[in-house]
Amino acid sequence: MASEQKERILRFYRGGEGEETAVRLLDLAESVMKTRKFRISPFLDPYGQEIAETVRASFDGLRLDFDGGYAGAERQRAMLRHEDFAGTPGGYEIACVAAAWNGQFARLSHRDVLGAVMGLGIARDGVGDILVAQDTAKILCDAKIADFIAERLTMIGAVHVTASLGDLAEIAPREERIKEIRATVASLRLDSVAAAGFGISRSRAADDIAADKVKLNWQSAGSASKNVNEGDVLSMRGRGRVEVTEVRGRTKKGRIVIVLHRYF
């Protein structure tokens, strides 16, 4: 890979949320090309997976696959592999830790569970999806730290939990519900589209954007006045995500007609 091309990638992501991920993936890719073997990345969110695709396209002979431990996982690990590698990769090194508590007396959220895991000193990129039910949570993680989490995770907030190694094969494929929303908005400002997609007021949407609860294409949204485009994805903490599937033009009153797909 030409140094100029590498610098272009780094320059594109420099100063943004993707900079650290781009640097790490480029290092892994260069190692693969040098050894002609394979490397596994930490867990990547969808934006990180897009960066991995960009890196792959910059190296001739580099292959890329993803796995998050079960079908439909949002956070996944990337396997970067040289096309000449003749061996069998050892897998994605993903394990499951199952945590359980008394659901009659406590309700725990994804945020609660993630906070407790990170409170053990675990980095965010060592953890994949967290699947929370009424009284259980399945925590996908790097296999190297699974035993540590299972042994040390005894409290989530003020709730006592028991944790043990789980079975990835028991995790059902992710099934998402999709609701199509047809709406008109005064402009394609982020707060207007978010309000229409998530069924909240524009002022509430603006407040959530300011509180960094809304991401645009998996990055911090920043300003409520930012314009969105067809194909953009908005995600809101606790409310799922919305894809702008069509921008159809204007009504006679000058409002913009949009079609959104909301995923639950």
- The 3 state secondary structure assigned to 33-77 is HHHCCEEEEEEECHHHHHHHHHHHCCCCCEEEEEECCCCCCCCEE
Question: Exposed (0-12), middle (13-18) or buried (19+): which is 134, by Cβ within 10 Å?
Answer: exposed
β 256-263/136-142 pair status:
unpaired
Residue-wise pLDDT for 218-232, tens only, equals: 999 989 999 999 999
**258 near 264, Cβ under 8 Å?**
no
More confident residue, 79 or 238: 79
Residue-wise pLDDT for 186-211, tens only, equals: 999 999 999 999 999 999 999 999 99
Q: Residue 264's pLDDT is what?
A: 84
Domain boundaries, given as residue ranges, for the chain? 3-82, 94-170, 178-263
Cα separation, 9 vs 219, in Å, equals 17
Cα separation, 240 vs 192, in Å, equals 17
What's the mean pLDDT in 248-263?
Answer: 96
CATH H-level superfamily of 178-263: RNA-binding S4 domain (3.10.290.10)
Residue-wise pLDDT for 75-124, tens only, equals: 999 999 999 998 888 899 999 999 999 988 889 999 999 999 999 999 99
Helices 3-13 and 46-56 meet at what angle, rounded to 10? 160
Q: What is the CATH number of domain 3-82?
A: 3.30.1370.160
Q: What is the CATH number of domain 94-170?
A: 3.30.70.330
Percent over 90 (pLDDT), the chain? 86
**183 near 258, Cβ under 8 Å?**
yes
Q: What average pLDDT does the structure give for the chain?
A: 95
| Integer CA distances (angstroms), 260 to 39, 127, 191, 239, in order | 38, 30, 14, 14
Q: Is the pLDDT confidence value at 3 over 90?
A: no
Residue-wise pLDDT for 57-75, tens only, equals: 999 999 999 999 999 999 9
Tokens of 225: 């006045």
